[in-house]
Amino acid sequence: MNTEQEKADITINNFLSKVKHYYHAHEVGQIGDAYELAYKAHQGQFRASGRPYITHPVIVADILIDMGLDVATICAALLHDTVEDTYITDGDIRSKFGDEIADLVAGVTKLDKIQFHNKEEEQAENMRKMFFAMAKDVRVMLIKLADRLHNMRSLMYLSPEKQQVIAKETLDIFAPIAGRLGISSIKSELEDLCLKYLDNAAYQEISEGIALKKNIRQEIVDAFIEEVKEELREAKIEDFDIYGRTKHFYSIYKKMLRQNKTLAQVYDLTAVRVIVDTIKDCYAVLGAIHARWKPMPGRFKDYIAVPKPNMYQSLHTTVIIETDNHTYPIEVQIRTHEMHKIAEYGIAAHWKYKEGVKGATSMDENLSWVKEVLSYDDDLKDSTEFLDLIRRDISNTNEVYVFTPNGDVKSLPAESTGLDFAYLIHSQVGNKCVGIKINNKIVPLDTVLTTGDTVEVMTNPNAKGPSRDWLKIVKTASAKTKIRQFFKRELKDEYIRMGRSMIEREIKHRGINPAELMTPEAIQAACDRYMLANVDEMYAAVGYGSLSLNQVVVKLISSNKVIYERIRTQQSARKKQQTGNKENSVIIKGVDDLLVRFSRCCSPVPGDEIVGFISRGRGVIVHRADCPTLKNMESERIVKAEWVNTGDKTTFPVTIEIIAEDKGGVFADITKVIANEGLSFVAINARKDRQGNAIATITVEISNHDQTNQLMNRLQTIPAVINVYRTHG
């Protein structure tokens, strides 16, 4: 037996023992069944570390047991990679374990069966699916977080390039999500592991620096703790736990960056935590500590009276202690046992401590931000924008706390304006807003809020609604989305009409009868794929430009089996015919009986000046004469080439790049021009450049050079378009 197998056996045996300790007999049987299926499915598969793959789902399940999750979650964790990586199907899991466990596994499974244009689009679609599943059942995200935690723990076995990509995604998305869900134990470990791979020099400096002065710092903290115990006993507070803990590396790292300090200049590396029975005791402890030690100004936070959005509650204060003629700041956190459970396990405490944690209402409030993220879907222009919105929204942990006129506390991200507050209250309050009062004074709508402000929104039921300038005033993604949704609703009928026309025209262009293709089943499949309520929502999304025309039509075709098989047969026959035509459309001077291929880097079409490159074993590859890649090729292998009459039936793929102002509907205008030209899409990709312009890269089937120029000229007439050009290698 090899060493890795021995380690795997120890991991599995420890897990199975823990299952017997934590769960009832019938639950142990169900978890055992899930383990057996996962074990068989993953047999012969190995991790990058060399260990049997089954150790990964076992460790993920083990992490979730420590978090106190229920049996369904543990079973789903054991099975979470089976559908994605083995012969096991969703139907297999559904028939053996039921819908609850199957739905959890489906929520975690990536969209690996779909072809994406780029990595960014794939990541965005997987994130969208994950948030959608989390909105229905938060346990999906808890499994995903445990999965990511184990992957980060074993990241050393991957290449440096993959380490960087995975660590960056984890720091941008998964660690902030753990924070939003209040699971500080996972958030802290993920952040520290990310730091290890993204800035190893800083990680080592902090690690070694903390170890170097550990004994000195421990003596100071231990002495402080003993003095606190004496103060609390004198204050008649008997039942308490108190201990010191080193702050996690990433929080120290952020402080060093934020304050431009070295590790030697950061003194509060350790926090002292006091845990008591009641809220009354929390404030009594605070009073006793402030009576004995001087608090640092501006460092007191009362998260008991005003909890964080992730349910976190605690009192935070930093006091100054003197020792050996030196002063040291020490942060003290004071909370009840129940608050401590929620601080460590966040939303998972709902399962771990059911008797002591408020249930569905708290969970719904805690997950309201997930529904806001999903609302961004209505306004997406491309994958990059969706990912940017997610990163910005979930990672913004700096908050301001303001009051309504009734005294209710509302939290918003730092830098939020009065108008953001109006939209936080309700979208209609924002839409009908005509003024803002802060502390009883009328102020401009763009006034930035500060903690402690009392904010009142003045509304008028006859107000016309927001102006587009408001998009520059609001700072929160939620407010921006609600404003854009207002304009979309105002023009929804027009977008529906435009989208229907575009889809029907594209379907006819592909030689298909719209009535035959647009069956209820195909429409439902397309709506489900893009999480749309009905066919009108699909039309509106295409008309607005937030959903690709090509994506929708391809989904409709793939969901109609009769049409799909017919198209495949036609395309196969056409491809054979066109391949022959293309090979015969070019004469290579001085070369006979060689396969002719067309370069993808510059996509030559009839009318372009061309040359041939005699490759090794791949025939003659035809390039445009101005293709930059020719500069790096052996000149003796380049031969003259010229076109012969190809006719209009033979088509060639041409890639065109379009730079445009990032305005709503510009992509709809582009697809409309292409459809009007009677051309077929091969691919379309969209992104933003550093100047904020929209960049669309499209590939279409073209017959000749003149047709290419005509299309480019038509695209240039779109008002928002800045420049149009063919790609060159």
* Burial group, residue 386, by CB count within 10 angstroms (0-12, 13-18, 19+): buried
70, 85, 189, 268: the active-site residue = 85
Distance CA 501, CA 676 (A): 11
Nearest-angstrom CA–CA distance, 140 and 142:
6
CA distance 248 to 265: 17
Contacts of 158 (CB under 8 A, 6+ apart): 48, 166
Answer yes or no: 172 catalytic.
no
Sign (positive or negative) of CA dihedral 601, 603, 608, 609 = positive
Enter the DSSP assignment of 348: G
* Cβ pair 291, 319 in contact under 8 A: no
DSSP code of 46?
Answer: B
SS3 state at 21: helix
- The beta strand positions in 326-408, using DSSP E, are 326-336, 399-403
Name the pairing type of β-strands 586-588 and 638-643.
antiparallel
Q: Which residues contact 475 (CB under 8 A, 6 or more apart)?
A: 413, 415, 416, 417, 420
Residue 74 is encoded by which pair of tokens?
């543990």
Q: Which of 4, 33, 70, 84 is catalytic?
A: 84
* Closest by Cα among 471, 464, 472, 475 to 431: 464
Q: How far apart are CA 163 and CA 633, in angstroms?
A: 35
DSSP-assigned beta bridge partners for residue 327? 322
Half-sphere exposure of residue 586, counting CA atoms within 13 Å on the CB side? 33
CA distances from 273 to 211, 246, 288, 315, 332 (A): 21, 11, 14, 10, 6
DSSP string, 410-465: EEEETT-BHHHHHHHH-HHHHHTEEEEEETTEEE-TTPBP-TT-BEEEEE-TT---
CA distance 69 to 22: 10
> Phi and psi dihedrals of 483, rounded to 5?
-65, -45
What pairs with residue 395 in β-bridges? Answer: none
Q: For residue 85, indicate whether it is catalytic.
A: yes
CA distances from 485 to 82, 490, 544 (A): 39, 9, 11
Q: Under DSSP, is residue 696 helix (H, G, I), strand (E, B) or coil?
A: strand
- Give Cβ neighbours of residue 623 (< 8 Å, ≥ 6 apart): 599, 601, 602, 604, 610, 611, 612, 613, 629, 630
| Residues across the chain | 729
Judged by DSSP in three states, 549 sits in: helix
CB 228 within 8 A of CB 272: yes
SS3 109: coil
- What secondary structure letter does DSSP report for 52? B
Q: How far apart are CA 726 and CA 729, in angstroms?
A: 10
Other Cβ atoms less than 10 A from the Cβ of 287: the count is: 12
Amino acid at 132: F
- The secondary structure of residue 618, as a DSSP letter, is S
Greatest Cα-to-Cα distance within the chain, rounded to the nearest angstrom: 103
Tell me how far apart the alpha carbons of residues 600 and 623 are, in angstroms, rounded to a whole number: 9
The SS3 call for residue 389 is: helix
Closest by Cα among 216, 616, 178, 180 to 367: 180
Q: Which of 520, 553, 538 is nearest to 675 (CA)?
A: 553
> Which residues are annotated as catalytic?
84-85
